């Protein structure tokens, strides 16, 4: 019986082993399919690269530059047999030195976005170029003309004329791209010609502090010099970024590449195509992010929104927005921070009427604002208001020695003639004010969202905040004309 039992067990095991093997094989195949589906890529990128490469171009630019100055060469005696041979080298320019010019070349990448020959690249690829030559994937070279550029996002739009419609690619939605998604970069790294590299999205919404509209996709796909201006594709073959920068101690790829997000680029490209320039909305406020202390001082439940630190002449002032307001919602969208608001406003149409929800004095209110054009506003100069001088008075508050303003004090502290507020004379180094960055010469314009012109006004506002049970009070401070809010602890 024992032997029979063993035999039956062996017979059952053999049959089940076969079935188990079949099931295991199917399971492994299914797992591979799921994995491939999850990562958005098959066993090879070859088909995708083959279909996308014809829309990617190499860009060569030339620029005329003067040769560096060099010492004048010795004169050759007239009649010397070497006179003609060295004539080109010894002919002095107007400064007595050789003034010949040379042609400098630079390489980059780009991609075609329409069959009629519009091409997107980085502005730094074609900046100051005298000539721009596009090399297609087929090897054909075409001269390109510059349609427009945007230095704030480092994007330029070019145009070529071809005998037949060109292959092109489309922009995708960068906002739905996720960290971990596969991406493909195609370009002209180090001038080696068309090249493909693959990687994943390492992070979204990165800022390199290169401009107010920074929205970079970080990737570990190999990006090197020459890749600039080239496309970053998702696995659907859509452009989700323009390869713009790398971080590297060696100048080569170490897996820290950055592409400007397509949802920023596409809007810029549309404006450059239509107008030859950008036309961004302008609200007309100086803003800063909130920290927890500022939020507490303003009576906010969380540190979200954009705190208005200054309102110069412009749309916001005309509509009634004030310094100290916290912008919570712009045109129907919640405002998380200053970066978000800047992008929302910049992407808005010039002349559009928008609703702005602000918190003021603990209450929310809706203000209707008609946006102007940022580019026009940046060209204008706003002159400060002029105030009448008064006798100086001094007091101490929260570790600072303060003084009211007179013409003489404005001169001593190198403040503008029309400056208004209370000047900081000294700051105790062990005070919260010193730790928060306040220094001699700073100008306090508001305390607790109330304007101040005398040191007594400052102490009155501080006492009011203490009486209200606040742990901190908000100071509006100006330095070199630039305003910022600072929350100072009332325990100082």
Residues tagged active-site: 124, 154, 228
Cβ atoms 198, 184 nearer than 8 A = yes
> Quick one: DSSP state of residue 174?
G
What percent of the chain is helix, strand and coil (3-state, nearest 5)?
25, 35, 40
- Using DSSP, state whether 161 is helix, strand or coil: coil
Burial of 486 (0-12, 13-18, 19+ CB in 10 A): buried
DSSP class of 190: G
The residue to which tokens 């100006």 are assigned = 478
Of 96, 94, 99, give the one whose Cα is nearest residue 66: 99
The Cα–Cα gap between 312 and 286 comes to 8
**CA gyration radius for the chain?**
32
Backbone angles phi, psi at 85, to 5 degrees: -65, -40
272, 157 contact by CB (below 8 A): yes
Report phi then psi at 373, rounded to 5. -100, 125
Q: How far apart are CA 142 and CA 133, in angstroms?
A: 6
CA atoms lying within 13 Å on the CB side of residue 439: 4
Contact 399, 489 (CB under 8 A): no
Phi, psi for residue 315 in degrees, rounded to 5:
-60, -45
């Amino acid at each position: 019986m024992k032997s029979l039992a063993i035999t039956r067990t062996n017979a059952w095991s053999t049959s089940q082993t076969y079935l188990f093997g079949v099931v295991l094989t199917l399971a492994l195949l299914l797992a591979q399919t799921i994995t491939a589906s999850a990562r958005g890529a098959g066993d090879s990128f070859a088909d995708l690269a083959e279909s996308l490469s014809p829309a990617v171009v190499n860009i060569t630019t030339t620029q005329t530059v003067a040769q560096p100055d060099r010492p004048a060469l010795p004169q050759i005696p007239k009649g010397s047999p070497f006179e003609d041979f060295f004539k080109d080298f010894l002919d002095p320019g107007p400064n007595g030195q050789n003034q010949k010019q040379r042609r400098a070349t630079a390489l980059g990448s780009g991609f075609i976005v329409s069959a009629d020959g519009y091409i997107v690249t980085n502005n730094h690829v074609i900046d100051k170029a005298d000539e721009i030559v596009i090399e297609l994937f087929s090897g054909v070279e075409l001269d390109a003309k510059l349609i427009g550029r945007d230095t704030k996002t480092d994007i330029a739009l070019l145009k070529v004329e071809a005998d037949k419609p060109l292959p092109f690619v489309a922009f995708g939605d960068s906002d739905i791209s996720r960290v971990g998604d596969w991406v493909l970069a195609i370009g002209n790294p180090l001038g080696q010609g068309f090249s493909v590299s693959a990687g994943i999205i390492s992070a979204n919404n990165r800022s390199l502090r290169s401009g107010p509209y920074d929205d970079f996709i970080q990737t570990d796909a190999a990006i090197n010099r020459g890749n600039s201006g080239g496309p970053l594709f998702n696995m659907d073959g859509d452009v989700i970024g323009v390869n713009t920068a790398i971080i590297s101690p060696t100048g080569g790829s170490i897996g820290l590449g950055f592409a400007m997000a397509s949802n920023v680029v596409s809007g810029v490209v549309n404006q450059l195509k239509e107008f030859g320039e950008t036309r961004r909305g302008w609200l007309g406020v100086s803003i800063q992010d909130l920290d927890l202390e500022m939020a507490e001082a303003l009576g906010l439940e969380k540190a979200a929104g954009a705190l208005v630190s200054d309102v110069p002449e412009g749309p916001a002032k005309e509509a009634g927005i004030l310094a100290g307001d916290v912008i919570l919602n712009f045109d129907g969208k919640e405002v998380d921070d200053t970066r978000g608001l800047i992008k929302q406003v910049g992407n808005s149409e010039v002349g559009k009427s928008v609703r702005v929800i602000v918190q003021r004095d603990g209450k929310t209110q809706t203000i209707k604002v008609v946006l102007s054009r940022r580019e026009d506003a940046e060209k204008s100069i706003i002159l400060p208001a002029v105030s009448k001088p008064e006798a100086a008075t001094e007091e101490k508050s929260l570790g600072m020695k303060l003084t009211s303003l007179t013409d003489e004090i404005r001169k001593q502290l190198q403040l503008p003639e029309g400056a208004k507020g209370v000047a900081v004379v000294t700051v105790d180094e062990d005070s919260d004010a010193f730790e928060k960055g306040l220094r001699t010469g700073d100008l306090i314009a508001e305390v607790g969202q109330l304007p101040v012109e005398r040191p007594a006004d400052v102490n009155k506002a501080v006492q009011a905040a203490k009486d209200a049970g606040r742990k901190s009070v908000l100071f509006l401070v100006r330095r070199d004309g630039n305003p910022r809010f600072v929350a100072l602890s009332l325990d100082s």
